[in-house]
Amino acid sequence: MNLDKAFAYIDQNQKQLIDELVQFLRIPSISAHKDRDADVARALDYDKKKLESLGFKTEVWPTRAHNGLFAERMVSPDLPTVLIYGHVDVQPADPLDLWTSPPFEPRIADGRIWARGADDNKGQHYAQIAGVEATLKGAGELPVNVKFIIESDEEHDSEAMAMELEKHKDKLACDVFVVSDSNFPDRDHPAVTLSLRGVLAMEVTITGASGDKHSGEWGGMLYEPIDVLRHVLQNLKDFETGKVLVPGFYDDVDEPTPATRAAIAGRPWNDADKAKEQGVKRLFNEKGYTALESGTLRPTLQTNGIQGGYTGEGFKTVIGNKAMAKISTRLVPRQHPDKIFAAVEKRIRELVGDKGTVEIKKFGGGLPFWSDPESPYVQAGLRALTTAFGKPSVILAMGGSIPFVPHLVRVTGAPCVMMGFGLPDDNLHAPNESFPIDCFLGGAKAAAAYLAEVGAMAGAPGRK
Amino acid sequence: MNLDKAFAYIDQNQKQLIDELVQFLRIPSISAHKDRDADVARALDYDKKKLESLGFKTEVWPTRAHNGLFAERMVSPDLPTVLIYGHVDVQPADPLDLWTSPPFEPRIADGRIWARGADDNKGQHYAQIAGVEATLKGAGELPVNVKFIIESDEEHDSEAMAMELEKHKDKLACDVFVVSDSNFPDRDHPAVTLSLRGVLAMEVTITGASGDKHSGEWGGMLYEPIDVLRHVLQNLKDFETGKVLVPGFYDDVDEPTPATRAAIAGRPWNDADKAKEQGVKRLFNEKGYTALESGTLRPTLQTNGIQGGYTGEGFKTVIGNKAMAKISTRLVPRQHPDKIFAAVEKRIRELVGDKGTVEIKKFGGGLPFWSDPESPYVQAGLRALTTAFGKPSVILAMGGSIPFVPHLVRVTGAPCVMMGFGLPDDNLHAPNESFPIDCFLGGAKAAAAYLAEVGAMAGAPGRK
């Protein structure tokens, strides 16, 4: 009954909620770009002011990088507490020339909001805030205590906030925490996501001669940094099988259980359709695993960027004296980014040997995380999604990383429910990111429904 | 005696000659950059006006790209004719931040002129012009007929001018043609260069999915363009042996004769010293050949530039949907760039297969050229250099390409003497290019001495 009022509030206040998200998306809060620090702070303040307007007490938690935000509305110590996570920072937007409209000038078209961060993660966590608002204003009060923890460094230095969690352990106490930073597999299947891969990112720079050299004069006489780099890359991952070739890489890898593989296989998925959708002739898969498993339940290694020599207009016959690659690995339980970094770094140094000099820079890593499909909080999530979207919910595994989640699992000891509202074609981390308005408003309803579900669990026999 | 007057003219007019070169170097005549077309034309006009001031008749020859310049001063039909080649265009200057001073603001320091083009080729061919001026003004008249052919596309589309040569065949008639676009092996050994490698340059772009993809979401499920590209590169050249792996690549390769290998080995050279000079731990060599042979008498393949994915500040977890490499091969007689292009293109398309789409763009190629060490015109070149620099001259092979030279060999049927004045540390095609003032002024004297040598040959028994 109260949920109906919350849903009605969302229906009646669509324009305001969308307008607020649009304002939020105008802020170019790129955490990886130093010159955007003020914008990142402004984005965090946007959430802070909004939550304060909803009667939340807020605290800004400084970190070694960008600040975090904590907010709470404690209704009663007898009620369960839901902790909701989000992040206000976004990925860089380049290459800008591939955007149809400017990334920080949100545009509404084709039932979607187009902007950097529209899905990841401003749109998704603002749906949670909208669900709280709707519950409060529609139904009068929240059926549970609600806390928010919002970070500003998810796309850049996610360790920064994680390092602060231990000291705020008491504040973060909760019965469940909810993350809306994942996808539905398609428009017809809302989903709870069971697992995340961990991540480890690094930058490798090979230096050769003391400067760029004429490739006519020196070609054949020098180890060329681009050659050394591609020699390194070809020895980090087998091109045919997809196996990572770094010794020790698979030592700590948990094989997915048959039950997990079966659950994942239950979602709607067709390799040929997916290939077509992505504009490729066929999908890749690690030898011995399906494409879907390769992209979710298996560790892998990507070269996210490469640059060396002359890449401008025309041709320049140089042997560039530097070549750089940005490399990341995706990890699964029990791999640890620090151990993997040591193994990869060792192997790269062996491969370069005396053929150049190598500099390796580590970026923040993230732990992998697998959840329990039998948890009542996960089951409540599936029900809330079905109630809000009127469609059957499914269970997914997620190939990406939310480095913060495993830390919050560790510090709170609470079960995690990943209940995201995005669609696969939202172009996360790419030009022309967007978020369907249906997903935003439906997400707000699912957020309200989840609070109702957990509130109902409070009175259930056996709790506390 | 007349040569003494020419040398005295150069000694007495150093400042003027250097000032003229400095003005010439201020023109940013980058033929590869469309927006520099006017500057390229301005540079050609600089030579035109200068040669006209020396009593040369000039003609501008249009091409499909930048114009060429022809100039002649015909003293007598009974005298031999020397055709001198040069180019006014220069390589791009980026990365600009590695230049100590701006590339087009020439600076004189440490006995050198620092600027893009100071050596390659403005400084070198302007030394020839200065040699002509000194002979004319010092000795009153030239001992031979002199023609100049100056192009504006050597660093960009060298085929453009070459395509025009056939129609000017009569004008280009000569007894010998001289090219100053090569190096001494060191300051103490002036040199005639016997051979050039040919060149073939191309750009390869691999495209994967319809846009950049999140590497967490898709890592393990897609053929990644950067992976496909490094797979292509690793199959074009063996990293350990340096052998080009493209089928047919070596089919037409002439092995250097024992005499040529011996001549090359006679120049001053030490692998360990060269490695140290270049700032590397050791030189590379193709298996079965010395480093020096690998860099001059053997064909090879270089990746001159590579780019893909995110290469900016920080880290972006994308699978870039494009990866590009600029690749060039250096060729030796009887390899033909067109045949090699077809072989490389075929192999690249095989390697990519259905793992992506590939676009291959061919840049202008150049033929290889080997000269005859016994030619009297080559021997005259060695004597002229020794007279001008007061040091013993040696014979070299050159790893680079001057695509125009083999065309001029074909059209004129005349012997070619490559008599360049640069030093190996002049940073050709790289930041901080420079040209020693000694080399410029000594080059002018060598040019004057060569005219005197050829003039003396005119009266020698057996000529004509």
Four-CA torsion B446, B450, B456, B457, nearest 10 degrees? 150
pLDDT of residue A123: 98
Residue A399's SS3 state is coil
pLDDT one-digit tens code per residue, A284-343: 999 999 999 999 999 999 999 999 999 999 999 999 999 999 999 999 999 999 999 999
pLDDT one-digit tens code per residue, B271-308: 999 999 999 999 999 999 999 999 999 999 999 999 99
Between chain A and chain B, the number of residue pairs with CB atoms below 8 A apart is 335
Mean pLDDT of chain B: 94
Question: Is the per-residue pLDDT at A459 higher than 70?
Answer: no
What is the CB neighbour count within 10 angstroms for residue B259?
9
What is the CB neighbour count within 10 angstroms for residue A453?
23
Those residues whose C-beta lies under 8 Å from the C-beta of residue A464, and which sit 6 or more positions away, are none
Q: Alpha-carbon distance B302 to A342, whole Å?
A: 31
Mean pLDDT to the nearest integer, A10-25: 98
Integer CA distances (angstroms), B372 to A216, B3, B263, in order:
21, 27, 12
The token pair that represents B257 in the structure block: 């004769």
Contacts of A227 in chain B (CB under 8 A): 233, 237, 239, 303
Residue A314's SS3 state is coil
Q: Is A98 on the interface with B (CB under 8 A)?
A: yes
pLDDT category of residue A364 using cuts at 50, 70 and 90: confident
Mean pLDDT to the nearest integer, A359-380: 88
pLDDT of residue B144: 97
Give the closest residue to B70 by CA, choosing from B168, B149, B133.
Answer: B149
Question: Is the per-residue pLDDT at B459 higher than 70?
Answer: no
pLDDT category of residue A157 using cuts at 50, 70 and 90: confident
Mean pLDDT to the nearest integer, A388-392: 95
Q: Alpha-carbon distance A297 to A292, whole Å?
A: 8
Please say whether the beta carbons of A409 and A431 come within 8 A: no
Question: Is the per-residue pLDDT at B195 higher than 80?
Answer: yes
What is the CB neighbour count within 10 angstroms for residue A436?
23
B positions 328-387 inside 8 Å of A (CB): 328, 330, 354-356, 363
Question: Is the per-residue pLDDT at A403 higher than 90?
Answer: no
A394 CA: distance to closest CA in chain B (Å)? 17
Give the closest residue to B232 by CA, choosing from B361, B355, B364, B363.
Answer: B355
pLDDT one-digit tens code per residue, B371-382: 878 789 989 999
ipTM above 0.95, yes or no: no
Q: Alpha-carbon distance B344 to B388, whole Å?
A: 45
pLDDT category of residue B432 using cuts at 50, 70 and 90: very high
A positions 44-83 inside 8 Å of B (CB): none
pLDDT of residue B355: 97
The DSSP letter of residue A301 is E
pLDDT category of residue A179 using cuts at 50, 70 and 90: very high
pLDDT of residue A464: 41
pLDDT of residue A159: 81
Please say whether the beta carbons of B85 and B181 come within 8 A: yes
pLDDT of residue A460: 54
pLDDT of residue B424: 87
pLDDT one-digit tens code per residue, B197-206: 999 999 999 9
Mean pLDDT to the nearest integer, B446-459: 91
Q: Alpha-carbon distance A95 to A102, whole Å?
A: 11
Mean pLDDT to the nearest integer, A256-285: 90
A452 CA: distance to closest CA in chain B (Å)? 31
Question: Is the per-residue pLDDT at B461 higher than 50?
Answer: no
Give the closest residue to A428 by CA, choosing from A17, A180, A92.
Answer: A92
Percent of chain B residues topping a pLDDT of 70: 98
The token pair that represents B124 in the structure block: 């070198």
Question: Is the per-residue pLDDT at A194 higher than 90?
Answer: no
A243 CA: distance to closest CA in chain B (Å)? 10
Q: Between chains, do A302 and B94 touch, taking CB under 8 Å as contact?
A: no
Name which residue leads in pLDDT, B195 or A229.
Answer: A229
Domains of chain B from N-terminus onward: 2-196+368-458 (3.40.630.10), 198-253+299-362 (3.30.70.360)
Q: Is A317 on the interface with B (CB under 8 A)?
A: yes
Reading phi first (left if > 0) and then psi (alpha if -120 to 50, else beta), residue A130 is in: alpha
Mean pLDDT to the nearest integer, A56-78: 96
The token pair that represents A183 in the structure block: 């996808």
pLDDT one-digit tens code per residue, B220-268: 999 999 999 999 999 999 999 999 999 999 999 999 888 788 878 878 8
pLDDT one-digit tens code per residue, B314-356: 999 999 999 999 999 999 999 999 999 999 999 999 999 999 9
pLDDT category of residue B156 using cuts at 50, 70 and 90: confident
Secondary structure (DSSP) of B253-291: PPPPPHHHHHHHHTS---HHHHHHHHT-SS----TTS-H
Mean pLDDT to the nearest integer, A336-356: 97
Mean pLDDT to the nearest integer, B104-115: 97
Please say whether the beta carbons of A279 and B210 come within 8 A: yes
Phi first, then psi, for residue A99 (nearest 5°) are -85, 135
Question: Is the per-residue pLDDT at A34 higher than 80?
Answer: yes
Nearest neighbour of B227 by CB, restricted to A94, A201, A239: A239
Radius of gyration of chain B (CA): 23
Q: Half-sphere exposure of residue B26, counting CA atoms within 13 Å on the CB side?
A: 6
Q: Between chains, do A217 and B398 touch, taking CB under 8 Å as contact?
A: yes
Give the closest residue to B434 by CA, choosing from B187, B167, B218, B111.
Answer: B111
Q: Alpha-carbon distance A365 to A202, whole Å?
A: 9
Give the closest residue to A25 by CA, choosing from A404, A435, A421, A422.
Answer: A435
Question: Is the per-residue pLDDT at B460 higher than 60?
Answer: no
Q: Alpha-carbon distance A354 to A363, whole Å?
A: 25
The token pair that represents B249 in the structure block: 């690549």
Nearest neighbour of B222 by CB, restricted to A197, A203, A278: A278
**Which of B210-219, B242-251, B354-363, B367-376 comes out lowest in average pLDDT?**
B367-376
What is the CB neighbour count within 10 angstroms for residue A350?
11
pLDDT category of residue A449 using cuts at 50, 70 and 90: very high
Q: Half-sphere exposure of residue A400, counting CA atoms within 13 Å on the CB side?
A: 23
pLDDT of residue B400: 85
